Amino acid sequence: MVKGIEKYGIPVVHMCTVVPISMTVGANRIVPTIAIPHPLGNPNLDEKEEYNLRKRLVDKALDALVTEVDGQTVFE
Amino acid sequence: MSKIKVVHYINQFFAGIGGEEKAHVEPELREGVVGPGMALNAGFKGEAEIVATVICGDSYFNENLEEAQKTILEMIKSQEPDLFIAGPAFNAGRYGVACGTITAAVQDELGIPALTGMYEENPGVDMFRKEIYIAATRDSAAGMRQAVQVMVPLALKLVNNEEIGSPEEEGYHPKGIRKNFFTEQRGSARAVDMLLKKLKGEEFVTEFPMPDFDRVEPAAALKDLSKAKIAIVTSGGIVPKGNPDHIESSSASKYGEYDISGFDNLTAETHETAHGGYDPVYANLDADRVIPVDVLRQYEKEGKIGELHRYFYTTVGNGTAVASSKAFSEEIGQKLIDDGVDAVILTST
């Protein structure tokens, strides 16, 4: 999916929990996430904390999109 | 010679503990044989025997790679096996990663012959094929009988230190090793033969398949986030409630395109997941946990990003053929270009 879209020259940031799979499929900008069934959330947190957690992850993804990379890069 | 002692690794599903709702279970060591180990044991015909089975949930393993690996290695070591077998994982992605990781670690760190099995499109194949023997299996557990036929002889050869033949002969995924051998005909004659066959349109087998560097150059970074139109794409199967286009829970044959222009926030009333490869409880309660519409909408209002694209694109990445994903993403990419989208956030579960 990532490669099929990035081929058009659109930068894609892949947000996923299993980073080795993302590396194997060839994503260039990778943001590690929380867990497989809830990558951008954590049901153990209260609503506000969970929203802030998601915000931090989206911030990382947006940072990745404005950062030039010359190969596969994980934005921890 | 005494019986060869085997330790077997399987996931929570094949152990009969449960499906995705149990994918978080921690590693467990059980004496004897469990689930698919029985078919392997039968295949060994008394020559080898599974003495213990290690079970771990697929999500637990993948979310805690280092810790899970350490615990499981200890469990395997405690049994002092002569041979280790993981899976087969067929086309289950997280299971494949787990089987590959453990098989490589047992081989390299414990120095015990180790083998696993997977379908060729399992991401675990490309991750580990160079390090370990991975028997080529079918894409689902219906292929267990075939898997046993390949894995048992290969495992016995490994443990008995016998010479392993070519990938074609033995039925494992090529490891990328070249072996010298003498042939009847010299290279020039073989090359001309091949060329003649090609000219006649006949089938021929190359002696050196070109490596498939399936990589895409990173696209240039965004210059100005505040003017960028950003689209969401997901393989996590988020769909409007009721899954109007009936996207399949596994081996998806299609993707969906859905309008989110009217949403500030996704809720249990409006959206859910169609994905059958992870516990859906959390995503069904709040789909923003998979696609962050709420945050991106806020950022759009604040002017941090230019615009959240009107549509999001979604499919179920669960045993879905690589060819299908490729076709979906090429269509989606074209639509995004036509709609002037500048960047994509793609989420996976």
Look at residue B134 and tell me if it is in a domain. Answer: yes
pLDDT, tens digit, for every residue of A30-54? 999 999 999 999 999 999 999 999 9
pLDDT, tens digit, for every residue of B265-281? 999 999 999 999 899 99
pLDDT, tens digit, for every residue of B206-258? 887 776 667 899 999 999 999 999 999 999 999 999 999 999 999 899 999 99
* Chain B residues close to A54, C-beta within 8 Å: 288-289, 292, 294-295
What total of structural domains would you count in chain A? 1
Q: Residue B321 has what pLDDT?
A: 83
Look at residue B22 and tell me if it is in a domain. Answer: yes
d(CA B210, CA B15): 40
Three-class DSSP category at B148: helix
Q: Which long-range contacts (CB under 8 A, 24 or more apart) does B298-303 make?
A: B298/B264, B299/A58, B299/A62, B303/B226
Residue B1: pLDDT band (50, 70, 90) is low
State the nearest Cα–Cα gap between A51 and chain B, in angstroms: 8
Look at residue B272 and tell me if it is in a domain. Answer: yes
d(CA B146, CA B167): 16
Above 60 in pLDDT, residue B111?
yes
Give A72's DSSP letter: -
Q: Are residues B54 and B142 in the same domain?
A: yes
Q: Residue A71 has what pLDDT?
A: 92
| Domain of residue A67, residue span | 2-74
Above 80 in pLDDT, residue B11?
yes
Rounded mean pLDDT of B118-131? 93
Computed over every residue of chain B, the mean pLDDT equals: 94
Which one of A3, A12, A25, A53 would you mutate to disrupt binding with B, by most B Cβ within 10 Å of its Cβ? A12
Q: Give the H/E segment covering residue A75.
A: none
Residue B259: pLDDT band (50, 70, 90) is very high
- pTM flag (> 0.95): no
Tokens of B181: 């051998």
Please check whether residue B335 touches A, CB under 8 A. Answer: no
Which one of B278, B294, B324, B345 would you mutate to disrupt binding with A, by most A Cβ within 10 Å of its Cβ? B345
Query: Which segment of A54-63, B108-117, B167-176, B296-305 scores lowest on mean pLDDT?
Result: B167-176
Look at residue B160 and tell me if it is in a domain. Answer: yes
Look at residue B200 and tell me if it is in a domain. Answer: no
Nearest CB to B218: which of A28, A33, A40?
A28
| Domain of residue B96, residue span | 4-170
Nearest CB to B216: which of A6, A17, A70?
A6
ipTM above 0.85, yes or no: yes
Nearest CB to B288: which of A27, A40, A73?
A40
What total of structural domains would you count in chain B? 2
> Domain holding B149: CATH number?
3.40.50.2300
Computed over every residue of chain A, the mean pLDDT equals: 95
Rounded mean pLDDT of B151-168? 94
Q: Are residues B25 and B123 in the same domain?
A: yes
Please check whether residue A49 touches B, CB under 8 A. Answer: no
